[in-house]
Amino acid sequence: MKIYVTKTFLPSIEEYKAQLERIWESRWITNRGILVKELEQKLRDYLGVKNILLVNNGTIALQIAIKSLELKGEIITTPFSYVATVSSIVWENCKPVFVDIEEEYLSIDENKIEEKITKSTCAILATHVYGNPCNVKIIEKIAKQYNLKVIYDAAHCFGVKYEGSSILNWGDVSTLSFHATKLFHTGEGGAIVSKEDELANKIFYHHNFGHKGEEDFWGLGINGKMSELNAAMGLALLPYMDRILSERKRVFESYNKNLRDLPLKKLKIREGTEWNFSYYPVLFDSEDSLLKVKKNLNENDIFPRRYFYPSLNKLPYLNNCRLPIAEDISKRILCLPLSAELGDSEVEFICNLIYDALC
């Protein structure tokens, strides 16, 4: 049996069908039906946020955030993230300005942000990499000093808390991905979180063609709405979250136990964080070692992923710049399979293959 970097958790088919029956009864498939509104309320309570809007994917969430904040010019961002973080900036006709990452937490190095600020800088778009919070306090201080907006790509952050409250409450906007690879998912989907009611209202009309009722318009908009079918998956899955988080922690600890004698560097979680065990990244001493391990795993039907490779400053549609830490880390980091359903014996098998390749 093949083991991939993640395995989508699914509720029972009966639980999903129970939600689908509600759709069949209402005959309401999209355009903010009762399931979407119900899921938003449940997520608002579960995550501890004031305003949350469901959208059809995590990338459109970033694009709507940029549009709603009326960003123009340069946006300071990280090179160590999924491509959507940077492609959203370019798609919205802004210019990404990269800041290298911090070696232990792997998030944007807050001590290098100020030197990249110019008169054209309008915002900071940082990623909580693997759900590990950025140094949000320093970033907030910088943003206030230079009158910058802050967006956090929180695609990996479902359920993460920092100093006792949701990490999603930091910044002007936080965006989430509910893609099938995430620990909470709606098949395909995402969400936008904001603290300010006026901004939340603007985000809402941007995601719904700009509508103000049936025959009037607030302004420019796009179709970012989540369907009832996707919301049904979220409603069926949400009651399992405590179990999912507990099982992922079990797998994480099993990896720690089985890999304890290997010289692999692990992710350092920022102090004060209640983490969600979203990924299990390991850092090798060289790219050659990583490739040797990956080859051995692949030959045994194990498929980890190089999250995140290459460093985004190497994208062909951007002007290349030198970012030594991100470029080095991206070549040497590998995310091992992690899901709530991965057994301890499977973890042991994976770790033995890593030992065989390195020793």
Lowest mean pLDDT among 21-30, 133-142, 206-215, 236-245: 206-215
| Torsional class of 179: left (φ above 0), alpha (ψ -120 to 50), beta (otherwise) | beta
In which band, very low, low, confident or very high, does the pLDDT at 320 lie, cut at 50, 70 and 90? confident
Phi, psi of 307 (to 5 degrees): -90, 110
Distance CA(60)–CA(39), nearest Å, equals: 19
Task: Give me the pLDDT at residue 219, please.
Answer: 86
Kindly report, residue by residue over 207-231, the tens digit of the pLDDT: 999 887 777 788 889 999 999 999 9
Average pLDDT, the chain: 97
pLDDT at 150: 98
Domains of the chain: 13-239 (3.40.640.10), 240-358 (3.90.1150.10)
Query: Using CA atoms, how far apart are residues 222 and 55, in angstroms rounded to an integer?
Result: 11
pLDDT value at residue 131: 98
What pLDDT, on a 0 to 100 scale, did the predictor assign at position 260?
95
The pLDDT value given to residue 151: 98
What pLDDT is attached to residue 353? 98
Per-residue model confidence as pLDDT tens digits over 167-187: 999 999 999 999 999 999 999
What is the distance between the alpha carbons of residues 355 and 82, in angstroms, rounded to a whole number? Answer: 29
